[in-house]
Amino acid sequence: MRFIVPAIFAVLVLACEAAFAQQTYLFQQTSINASPNPVGSGARAMGMGGAFIAIADDATAASWNPGGLMQLERPEFSFVFTFQHRRKELDFSIQRGMDGTTEIYREDLNYFSIAYPFRAFDKNMIVSINYQRLYDFYTDLEYTEELNSLGSSGIFTHAKLHESFRQTGALKAFAPAYAIQITPQLSVGMTLNFWTDDLGYDNEWKSQRVTKYAVSAHVNPTTILKQTGRIVTRETNKHFRGFNMNFGFLWHVNQMVTIGGVVKTPFTGEVRRRTTIWSTAAYDRMSPIPQVPYRRRENVEMHFPMSYGIGIAFRLSDAFTIAADIYRTNWSDYWVRSQGRKTSPITGGRRSDARIHDTTQVRIGGEYLCVLEKTIIPLRFGVFYDPEPSTKHNDDFYGVSLGTGVSIGPAVLDCAYIYRFGRDVRGDMLARGQGKPTFDVDEHSIYVSMIYHF
């Protein structure tokens, strides 16, 4: 028994690791939640489903199409708040015990801007200062799996794993913008995005993963060997820094048709990462034995891809406008470099092995103005296709939106509701023989914007 018991425990540990290794794959990635595609902000734009590239006629144009800023005739400041509820249901077609639900509730300042139009060198120009919260890392997931097996030697083993993962944080940019009117019909602009936390806000994300396991082996009717353990992994990514630009144009073809385009350049950001791992293990009836903590500090590079889009808007009457956008993001060029090794944040594996496809969004929306005696009430609607990058194939997400607002003197108040959903998404993210696990995702968002002209 002096040699058999340790050998059995070694086999148990290896079997447990092999059985659950496919699940740990879930946590080897940096998960961007909500839509990872770098779109803009604003209740008016989102009420139209995000079909705003060819409209872009308020201060949020710096995030959609800076060429549209030229349409602002008066100085203004604006801010946008978001309220989000995100629900995910994890579904394993074979291992039903692993099914679970996770929900996230968030409210944040999403956008802030100050814009000032002026004239110089016989040209109309405008400058604006903007803040945008773009990439959201908040997620929360928890599940339990049990596994039974009977070996050829007659030893029956039972293994139970409980896994929880929580991630918080977001990336924000300070973004001055400039636009100039080239001709009465054509204007161009650019936005300079400084990704930094030197301006009083955090540009970081954190994650914690807790794994608890228990393995027992029934050697014979009277002998049961047990092993339990706990592993805690904490990762902190702080002081993210980077720089990129948005270039846009807006062309008023005629009184009815407007065409806009935007390009958002790729960039490589740097972040300071600290990883700490604690673990304990207990054998049979022994007290838990703490292991020596593992700690690592490093500077990590994170490369975000180029994205670009084009939009068209039709002003069918003074009161009714419809618009459509097509937008593409090169997610195949999204990677992280750590310790000299490039990995895919989407798959968690080596970038050279990742088969990630670029995504193409399609957004259609409209706005109808109800002109009353003392104010104007807009009615907005939109639909969109907003796929997310995943392994082997992209995940399909769809959405609908509704919006309205009111003008009171120099102030404009807008609000929008967005419902975005995906069914059986990320089906390959955990697919290592466990019955193609998938997520059902439902996201409800409310945008509230206030614009004040002075």
Give the pLDDT of residue 305: 92
Residue 415: CATH number of its domain:
2.40.160.60
Total domain count for the chain? Answer: 1
The burial of 325, by beta-carbon neighbours within 10 Å (0-12 exposed, 13-18 middle, 19 or more buried), is given as: buried
Can you list the residues of the chain whose pLDDT is less than 50?
1-29, 96, 427-435
Q: What is the extent of the structural domain holding 279?
A: 4-453
d(CA 44, CA 372): 19
Question: What is the per-residue pLDDT for 10?
Answer: 46
pLDDT value for 434:
44
Question: How far is CA 72 from each of CA 59, 60, 340, rounded to the nearest angstrom?
Answer: 8, 11, 47
Give CA–CA dist 44/449, Å, rounded: 8
Residue 234: per-residue pLDDT: 94
pLDDT at 87: 84
